[in-house]
Amino acid sequence: ADPEVCDNDLSWIYDQAENRLHTQKAILTLTMGGRL
């Protein structure tokens, strides 16, 4: 994203990226049988 967009009220981009990270970690944990 362009810097002026991220500095705007659209900083929810970072929240979405963080949510995606937690989701990926949860899926990885489940597929590894609870070991991470």
Which amino acid makes up residue 32? M
Whether this model's pTM surpasses 0.75? no
Cα 29 from chain centre: 16
Whole-Å CA distances, 4 to 1, 26, 35:
8, 32, 40
Number of H helices, E strands in the chain: 2, 0
Contact assessment for residue 1 and residue 13, using Cβ atoms and an 8 Å cutoff = yes
Give per-residue pLDDT as tens, 4-27: 655 666 678 888 999 999 999 999
| Domain-wise residue ranges, the chain | 1-36
CA end-to-end distance (rounded Å), the chain: 31
